[in-house]
Amino acid sequence: MSAPTPAGTALKITPLGDAIGAEIEGVDLARLDDAAFAQIERAWADHLVLRFRRQQLSDLDLMRFSRRFGALDRVPIRASDVMDHTDPRLAIDPEAREYVTIISNVKVDGMAIGGLGNYEAHWHTDMSYNDTPPSASLLYGIDVPPAGGDTSFCNMYLAYETLDEASRERVRGLTCVHDASRNSSGELRRGFADNDDPTHTVGARHPLVRVHPVTERPCLFLGRRRNAYVPELPLDESERLLDHLWAHATQQRFNWTQQWRQHDLVIWDNRCAMHRRDGFDDRHDRVMHRTQIRGTAPMRYV
Ligand code: OGA
Ligand code: MN
């Protein structure tokens, strides 16, 4: 995009589905003023996931825009840190390397340059197994496959509000342990033992219903299904309750699916939305640059 967004211009905000997601038009995120950001922030609180198409963002632009939402999380050490940085598919601004991660299936000399590969990623909240999961993640499409690799989002406020009354009352006082041992596509993380017994899950324990610190609305907080455990209950009851909550929360009517185009920027609220990704044909490259905003400990709903 070229011309700066004139100060005071109203952005065009179009809901992308009934439950979650909105498209924002009429803004260049590389040249954003405070008035436009205020509108974006309000739209984000209302729609949980925002999509901006046709954005030309350098890694530093992506970082600058991301920082308006809070402090950035540092990226973990990754395979590409030890790889040949002259390969154009690995290109990342050196000043951005601490804060911008690559999500990609691309391999150079047999080594993955980014996270998640081409696998399906199951429904999850990013890093819910930490005591302070990120508040948001931003994903910018640099290279996207012609089909597949769609990312779906679901609205966890709605999931909570539409629960049957008995379940709503029941889950309010309960917590859940979130498994840290595997990533969202099911791969065992380094340093973790393989475990199939939810009562032995290693990871953070969070309230099942949390209050969003900005909107102050309650939402379900499920995080990830595998090895999840409600420690207040015997295992069979915990499994039954979690199956019920997951089946309810992941219904199509609470979802919207992003079909990526190159230069789409999507931000999701990781406190009140979950996401999942379809797999895709590994013959196509998918390269996304990603930032993550530091969060706070989930607050219990009382
Ligand atoms: C993530 C993630 C989805 C995608 O980056 O946290 O789940 O579409 N990615 O690659
Ligand atoms: Mn994720």
- Look at residue 262 and tell me if it is in a domain: yes
In this prediction, residues 11-35 reach a mean pLDDT of: 96
How much is the pTM? 0.94
- pLDDT-wise least confident of 21-25, 121-125, 182-186, 272-276: 182-186
133 and 280 inside one domain = yes
pLDDT for the residue 182: 86
- Look at residue 2 and tell me if it is in a domain: no
Q: Nearest to residue 26, comparing CAs of 8, 44, 47?
A: 8
- Phi-psi label, residue 21: left if phi above 0, alpha if psi -120 to 50, beta otherwise: left
**Is residue 67's pLDDT more than 90?**
yes
Pocket test of ligand 1: the residue of 103, 187, 266, 291 to mutate, having most ligand atoms within 8 Å of its CB, is 103
CATH of residue 295's domain is 3.60.130.10
Range of the domain at 135: 12-155+257-300
103 and 77 inside one domain = yes
- Report the share of the chain in percent with pLDDT over 70: 94
pLDDT for the residue 176: 98
Q: Is the CB of 289 under 6 A from ligand 1?
A: no
pLDDT for the residue 1: 45
Q: Is the CB of 127 under 6 A from ligand 1?
A: no
170 and 129 inside one domain = no
Q: Is the CB of 136 under 6 A from ligand 1?
A: no
- Look at residue 119 and tell me if it is in a domain: yes
187 and 51 inside one domain = no
122 and 148 inside one domain = yes
184 and 267 inside one domain = no
- Residue pLDDT, tens place only, 252-295: 999 999 999 999 999 999 999 999 999 999 999 999 999 999 99
Q: How many helices (H) and strands (E) does the chain have?
A: 5, 19
Closest CA to ligand 1's atom 9:
277
- Phi-psi label, residue 2: left if phi above 0, alpha if psi -120 to 50, beta otherwise: alpha
Name the CA dihedral angle for 71, 76, 80, 81, rounded to a multiple of 10 degrees: 90
- Report how many domains make up the chain: 2
Distance CA 123, CA 14 (A): 25
Pocket test of ligand 1: the residue of 100, 153, 275 to mutate, having most ligand atoms within 8 Å of its CB, is 275
126 and 17 inside one domain = yes
More confident residue, 144 or 190: 144
Q: Is the CB of 151 under 6 A from ligand 1?
A: yes
39 and 128 inside one domain = yes
- Look at residue 1 and tell me if it is in a domain: no
Q: Nearest to residue 265, comparing CAs of 66, 131, 41?
A: 66
Q: Who surrounds ion ligand 2 at CB < 5 A?
A: 126
**Is residue 42's pLDDT more than 70?**
yes
pLDDT for the residue 81: 60
Residue 210's contacts (CB-CB under 8 Å, 6 or more residues apart) are 218, 219, 221, 271, 298, 299, 300, 301
215 and 272 inside one domain = no
Q: Is the CB of 275 under 6 A from ligand 1?
A: yes
Q: What is the mean pLDDT of the chain?
A: 92
- Look at residue 7 and tell me if it is in a domain: no
Distance CA 247, CA 24 (A): 31
- pLDDT-wise least confident of 73-82, 213-222, 240-249: 73-82
Q: Would you report the helix, strand and coil content of the chain in percent, each value rounded to 5?
A: 25, 25, 50
- Look at residue 4 and tell me if it is in a domain: no
- Look at residue 83 and tell me if it is in a domain: yes
Q: Is the CB of 122 under 6 A from ligand 1?
A: no
In this prediction, residues 212-222 reach a mean pLDDT of: 98
